[in-house]
Amino acid sequence: MMREILVPLVSGTIFGAGLIIGGMTDPARVRGFLDLFGNWDPTLAFVMGGAVLVMALAWMLQRRMQRPAFAEGFSLPNSRDITPRLVGGSALFGIGWAIAGLCPGPGFAALAIAPASAAIFIAAMFAGMFLVRLTEGPR
């Protein structure tokens, strides 16, 4: 019971701290990074490069593991299909990221720094998720 609460809590805290320290919770910095043809701010490229490097190492390690340290088995996607739904969702995610300067992870972490503006983002995100469920129907 304690491990079921403690492991996600510690993992989420480390992830959120990394987002805050890396500047991913600052919408102005994110928009500056996405402004390739204006006043481009390359600092988040280093954050993302570091994340890609860590994830590449994690995938290499995962291939050698029989099972995860804190679970019975791995929960990996079993489909690699590129569907219109996936492309459309990715495009909407990117547009929302560019407009708001936040995506879900940094949005939740930003609640600790700028709760009012982050709460507006989180509410809009949940409204969008609800609208998709409402209009999409059963899958």
Q: What is the DSSP string of 88-135?
A: HHHHHHHHHHHHHS--HHHHHHHTTT-HHHHHHHHHHHHHHHHHHHHH
Contact 32, 39 (CB under 8 A): yes
Sequence-separated (6 or more) residues with CB below 8 Å from residue 62: 74
pLDDT of residue 139: 65
Q: Which residues contact 123 (CB under 8 A, 6 or more apart)?
A: none
The stretch 9-30 carries a mean pLDDT of: 89
Span 63-74, mean pLDDT? 88
- Give the mean pLDDT of 102-121: 89
Per DSSP, the three-state class of 62 is helix
Euclidean distance between CA atoms 106 and 92, whole angstroms: 17
| % pLDDT > 70, the chain | 97
Cα–Cα distances in angstroms (integers) from residue 23 to residues 14, 68, 110, 119, in the given order: 14, 30, 10, 18
Residue with tokens 């890396």: 22
The pLDDT of residue 40 is above 70? yes
For all residues of the chain together, what is the average pLDDT? Answer: 88
Give residue 16's pLDDT band: very low, low, confident or very high (50, 70, 90). Answer: confident
Q: What is the pLDDT of residues 54-65, one digit of tens each?
A: 999 999 999 999
Domain boundaries, the chain: 2-136
First-to-final CA distance of the chain: 33
pTM: 0.72
121 alpha carbon, distance to own chain's centre: 14
Pairwise CA distance, residues 23 & 17, whole Å = 10
Instruction: Indicate if the pLDDT at residue 137 is higher than 70.
Output: no
